Amino acid sequence: MKHLGKAFWLAGAALIAPATALAAESTAEQDRQYLPEGIIVTGERQGYAEDDGSTGTKTPTPVIDVPQTITFVTEDQLEDQSIRQLGEALRYVPGISIETGEGHRDEIFIRGQETTADFYLDGLRDDAQYYRSLYNIERVEVLKGANALIFGRGGGGGVINRVSKTARINGFEAEVDASVDTFGAFSLSGDVNTTLSGVAAARLNATYEEFDSNRDFYSGHFIGISPTVTVDLGEATRLTATYSYDEDQRLVDRGLPADGSGPLRGFRDTLFGDPDFNDTDSRVHIARARIDHEFSSSLTANATLQFADYDKAYQNIVPDGLRNGGADVQFSGYRDTQTRQNWIAQANLVWELDTGALQHMVLAGVEASWQDSNNGRSNSLFANGTGGTTSRFTTALTDIFAFPAISLTGPVRDRDSELEVFSAYLQDQIDIGEHLQLIAGLRWDRFDLRTIEQLNGNRGDRVDEKVSPRFGLVVKPNPQLSLYASYATSFLPQAGDQFFLLSPGDAAFAPEKFTNYELGVKWAPSEKLFVTAAVFQLDRTNTKGPDPLDPSLTALVGESRTKGLEFNLVGEITPRWQANIGYTYLDGEITSTSSFGAEGLRLQQLPEHQISAWTRYDFSDSFGLGLGVIYQDEQFASFSNAVTLPDYLRVDAAAYYTVSERLSLQLNVENLFDANYFPSAHGDNNIQPGRPLSARLGVRVKL
């Protein structure tokens, strides 16, 4: 609560200040929102294409005018694929590889850059380590390439933004969804939107899920509830308030060890852990209030205040690798706790003006955040049969493992961190005639991190002040076609993306830097079909590595480079045919020896070729079929380049039947041809096998 006053002051300042200089002249449309544009609950399908590019600029900008690769997964596509978790949705996004996340969190690679923290909710940072459900989400946005001007620190390869469902003042609608799969997992969710008066509405999304899969002993549940209220405070002002509570409990599954240079085969269902010990439990509260105001038809502002509380614990027995020529497996384990509280306040002012032949859309914004975190750990001990304990346990390779009694050491880690960030940014989007647009801006960040290891009193304190530029050029031969070039940077302090500990040694080093160069084309042959292509180069510099003059010392000499090509076609090909088809080529390596590895090594979990395609065709108003394909080229499990995950092809399918206006049925089949594949890893000895052939039957009722 100590940051609450500061946050309210900052969030309101940028909104109140212009009001003293301008009369609150209102030419606002009832449902206009500056960021993002309002999505109206109509009960009608909106399709797979999306035109709202506002998250990439913090201004009301069509996606065709944003000089950056942006990929969407819309609500219709999520429903058609029967997807409930963020990680499942991202498997169908080209350029993203899914990291196993140690079996207890979302973790991904974007353009070869690993992250556990570059996740956003309605444009605000949501950076804790947990699994994110999509029960209250309108769409998922993937914004690729470094862009600190909009998002601040991190986001070297890009960021993931989830757009929330909010209440709309358009009457009453309700929907109930239920589904069950062949493993026995089931879910039940509801979505109710109602108008409270002519100026207010409320919406409630809630869900309950039970987890199960082919993996031995796998179980768990998820509970989510998210109420939201929208109130028009006059014709020119709108208040939106949301809250969500998510509870996730499940078995922690760290996957399989390697067998030589590849994954261990023949153990697709085996849990390499202890079902009585492996467990994770996370509870997340996020509350947010946002106010949008139109001072005039050319001047708008918004201010948002968000509080998030994360409380999570997980423990696991984990395979360290095979021993004795592959006859045995060695295990270790630990228990880890994490708590975090975030306050974020953000305010933006958008001003549209003409200066002679030039048209400007100017963004001015400020953001402040306060983050308090704690991370604790204890290691596992195995009874050795002689009254003592050992930190490692080795046993014969088998389908089900029997473990001796497991206990925990005292704390081996107890880290507290306090992070304060203040940012100010300015951006100008300039139209020069009808065919040329420029975008240029700068962001200044003051990053103040203080950490302490309570067990030994070691402190790490560092203050960084960084200026991050962004430049883009958009050429539009016609309104449906744009060609663009862009340059943008981002930075990441040496404490890593979770900021639990800044060691005294790390405190001496400036942040890592990410620089993204991109050329692209965007084409909208129709209002509901969008085609994009881009080539890019992403350079990561200032990574720690051995000093060339004295390898016993550390210096900022490490570098890596990723080059790539992306293609995406999304939307309505014909009135009955929707598709989202993507391809990515990626080539990345360490170009200068760093703490990640030696010069010349390929970046971890970076497949050279990726293809993702999902399509739905409606043969009539009541019957349709869906088909999905994921191809992922072989990739290295880690920077060691010693273990390779083989390439794979997975085929999914679906069938849809509309019984009436209020009732519809859906059947989804995952891994139709029962491919035996390994989509992700966490290092060389935690390799996740893909699920076998399975089916999910769903029912949707509209009230």
Q: Are strands 529-547 and 512-526 parallel, antiparallel or unpaired?
A: antiparallel
pLDDT attached to residue 506: 84
Report, at the CATH architecture level, how domain 4-242+277-702 is classified.
Beta Barrel (2.40)
pLDDT attached to residue 41: 38
pLDDT attached to residue 43: 54
How much is the mean pLDDT over the chain? 93
In eight-state DSSP terms, residue 634 is: -
Instruction: Give the distance from CA 593 to its chain's centroid.
Output: 29
pTM for the model: 0.93
Q: What are phi and psi of 11, to 5 degrees?
A: -65, -35
pLDDT attached to residue 480: 96
Q: Are strands 119-121 and 158-164 parallel, antiparallel or unpaired?
A: parallel
CA distance 337 to 315: 9
Half-sphere exposure of 230 (CA within 13 A, CB side): 26
pLDDT attached to residue 505: 82
Return all residues near 150 (Cβ < 8 A) that are at least 6 apart: 55, 56, 57, 58, 143, 425, 443, 470
Mean of pLDDT values over 201-220: 97
**Across the strands, what pairs with 445?**
423, 466
551 prior amide bond cis, ω within 30: no
**Across the strands, what pairs with 651?**
629
Q: Which of 33-37, 102-106, 494-498 has the lowest mean pLDDT?
A: 33-37
Mean of pLDDT values over 73-83: 97
pLDDT attached to residue 113: 96
Closest among 561, 525, 526 to 543, alpha carbons compared: 561
The answer to whether the beta carbons of residues 331 and 394 sit under 8 Å apart is yes
pLDDT attached to residue 502: 87
Residue 131: CB atoms within 10 Å: 19
Residue type, 47: G
pLDDT attached to residue 2: 52
pLDDT attached to residue 90: 96
CA distances from 13 to 52, 106, 288, 289, 412 (A): 27, 35, 17, 15, 44
The answer to whether the beta carbons of residues 668 and 680 sit under 8 Å apart is no
CA distance 89 to 17: 41
Residue type, 466: K
CA distance 156 to 160: 12
Angle subtended at Cα 343 by Cα 166 and Cα 22, rounded to the nearest 5 degrees: 70
pLDDT in tens, 370-390: 999 999 999 999 999 888 999
Q: Which helix (H) or strand (E) holds 88?
A: helix 86-90
Instruction: Give the distance from CA 57 to its chain's centroid.
Output: 18
Burial 407-432 (b: 16+ CB within 10 A, else e): ebeeeebbbbbebbbbbebebebebe
Closest among 66, 44, 68, 27 to 516, alpha carbons compared: 68
Closest among 188, 89, 177 to 141, alpha carbons compared: 89
Direct distance between the N- and C-terminal alpha carbons of the chain, in angstroms, rounded to an integer: 41
Instruction: Give the distance from CA 521 to its chain's centroid.
Output: 25
User: The tokens of 301 are what?
Assistant: 């502002």
Residue type, 329: V
Q: pLDDT at residue 10 above 60?
A: no
Q: Which helix (H) or strand (E) holds 149?
A: helix 148-151
Return all residues near 386 (Cβ < 8 A) that are at least 6 apart: none
CA distances from 446 to 317, 421, 497 (A): 40, 6, 16
Q: Which helix (H) or strand (E) holds 13?
A: helix 4-19
DSSP SS3 for 85: strand
Closest among 49, 53, 72, 138 to 528, alpha carbons compared: 49
Mean of pLDDT values over 196-213: 96
